[in-house]
Structure 1
Amino acid sequence: MAQDLVVPLAPNVWRIPLVRDLVNGFALRDDDGQVTLVDMGVSSSGPKVMAALAAIGSGPRDVTRLVLTHAHPDHAGGAAHVARQTGRGFTVHHDDAAHVVEGSSPPRDRSVLLGRLLDRVTRPGRDFEPVTVEHEMRDGDVLPIAGGLRVVHTPGHSPGHVSLLHEESRTLITGDAIFNVLGLRWPVKAFCTDFRMTQRTAHVLGELDYDVAAFTHGAELRDRPREAIRRFLSRRSPS
């Protein structure tokens, strides 16, 4: 297995470094060989996702589900390429589904100047190439993926932002609720729809049970990650 293409997190669960460790996707494989891919990185990342698929010994025909944690171009940028290669549409939370279909980011936090400026340049199809949504997920859903992938709605970064808990391997995919870049930190305010909501809803991540915390931005935590996330959240409670 090419270690530079995939990082094993648990049996049949891998992180896919798409821009070093700064932007990540994920792959999960069922016992029968079916593969689910989560997040496709930036616009140039599609081929890297497919190379990672080959690195775990699977191919496009094995992919039965594509999932996006939210509709931002650093997660959905490579989505169209992967969709064409696999022939699959996407699973996304109901509140971000329309944005995925039109290829646009949700509104940014207008209390932040950069957020207002970013909103001015957002246009359908400009942020990322539109893709088909074949399933809309909601909070508490358990997707039939590798023994069950629980949907944890953590809105704020976007209206339909989700974190995902693979209960069988006790692996949490945080999405952009929390970054692990030079330590645990919040996502950039201007990229959030509602930064204060991001801070509020992330607290649910301290209430879940997991042994590995995997981030879409930054490397995973394996040493008591729940305690580390709880400490981060307790120090940075929203006012």
Structure 2
Amino acid sequence: MDRIEVLPRLHLFRFPIGQAYLWRDGDELTLIDAGNAGSAPEIEAAVRGLGLRPEDIRRIVLTHCHRDHIGAAEELAARHGATVIAHRLDAPVVRGESPVPEPDLLDWELPLWEHGLTVPEAPPTRVDVEVEDGDELGFGDGAYVVHAPGHTDGSIAVHLPRHGVLFTGDCVAGIGQVMLGVFNTDRAQAATSFRRLAALEPEVACFGHGDPLTEDTAAVLKAAAEAPVPRP
């Protein structure tokens, strides 16, 4: 797992597939997504490598219900008493009460999807707090939920307006180029969500896959959001 500084208070933890982010408010830590199952020891080691304590992870915000985002959440929460947060519509999937929604795949997405399925299945994971659009999250000087459906029904972004930071989840991808994320259950709805996120004009955009965008961010997001939506 790679550990990359995005901002002095923000680090990226990159796994072979997917990634998570650590935000720091003093000694209080927040994880946005939690990597794949079995990655808890790596995340803990990365936190310690920053001179911080895994015991200070207060919350784990899940942007959606896919296995590469929720895998280690249950183990980390159980060890350190963190609160697990997810949107109301994805919470039953995270808990293992409902099946993972099937994406509407384009032909070129099929091999990527099959590769993604090599990530270990996530165990059922508790959700302590179910959130809705606009709910504040208790960190980052006013971080709040932006409901961004289309990738999954309960996909969310997390906006920190006082810091100009936006975590997009998988609504937006940054691999090679900034683009609409893949594996969407409703591609048109995901494109609408992308445009809503771009309208927030963040200074830093942190994607579920790909390098964070830190330069000309608002303009790049706007141009990408206005690009034609791929059709089957």
TM-score range, shorter chain: 0.7 to 0.9
Matched, 1:180 2:174: yes
For residues 73 and 174 of structure 1, the distance between their equivalents in structure 2, rounded to whole angstroms, comes to: 17
> Which deviates more from structure 2 when the two are superposed, residues 173-182 or residues 36-45?
36-45
Asked if 1:25 is matched to 2:35, the reply is no
1:92 aligns with 2:89: no
Q: 1:236 to 1:51 in 2, by over 3 A?
A: farther
Contact 2:188–2:229 (CA under 8 A) maintained in structure 1 = no
Is 1:192 the equivalent of 2:184? yes
CA distance in 2, matches of 1:104, 1:10: 37
Match of 1:53 in 2: 47
Alignment of 1:3-22 (within 5 A): 5-19=2-16
Q: CA deviation at 1:112?
A: 6.2
Q: Give the counterpart letter for 1:9 in structure 2.
A: V
Q: Name structure 2 gaps, 5 residues minimum.
A: none
Name the amino acid aligned to 1:129: P
Q: Deviation per CA, 1:148-196, whole angstroms, max 9, x where unpaired?
A: 21211100101110011122321111110111111122222xx322122
Counterpart pick for 2:145 among 136, 141, 151: 151
Tell me how far apart the structure 2 counterparts of residues 52 and 169 of structure 1 sit (CA, whole Å). Answer: 23
Percent of pairs identical after alignment?
29
Divergent runs of 4+, >4 A: 110-115
RMSD across aligned positions (CA): 2.5
| 1:117-161 deviations in Å (ceiling 9; x for gaps) | x9xxx9xxx941011111111111121113121211100101110
In the alignment, structure 1 residue 75 sits paired with structure 2 residue 73 = no
Cα distance between partner residues in 1 of 2:80 and 2:28: 12
1:67-105 superposed Cα distances (whole Å, 9 cap, x missing partner): 100000010122222223323341001111111111765
Paired residues of 2:180 and 2:225 also in contact (CA < 8 A) = no
Distance 1:81 1:74, change over 3 A: same
Q: Which residue of 2 aligns with 1:136?
A: 130
Alpha-carbon displacement from aligned partner over 1:21-56 (angstroms, at most 9, x marks no partner): x5210111113x111111111223222221221122
TM-aligned CA deviation for residue 110 of structure 1: 5.2
**For structure 1, which runs of at least 5 residues remain unmatched after alignment?**
none
Aligned residue number for residue 219 of structure 2: 227
Matched, 1:108 2:105: no
- 1:161 corresponds in structure 2 to 155
Are the structure 2 counterparts of residues 147 and 15 from structure 1 closer, same or farther at C-alpha, using a change threshold of 3 Å?
Answer: same
TM-score (norm. length: structure 1)? 0.84
Determine the C-alpha separation between the residues in 1 that align with 2:155 and 2:199: 18
* Rounded Cα–Cα distance in structure 2 between residues aligned with 1:130 and 1:231: 38
- The alpha-carbon deviation at position 5 of structure 1 amounts to 4.1
Matched letter for residue 199 of structure 2 = E
Residue number in structure 2 paired with 1:218: 210
Distance 1:59 1:212, change over 3 A: same
Which whole-Å CA distance do the structure 2 matches of 1:133 and 1:7 have between them?
Answer: 28
User: Structure 2 counterpart of 1:195, which letter?
Assistant: R
> Bigger CA drift: 205-214 or 75-84?
75-84
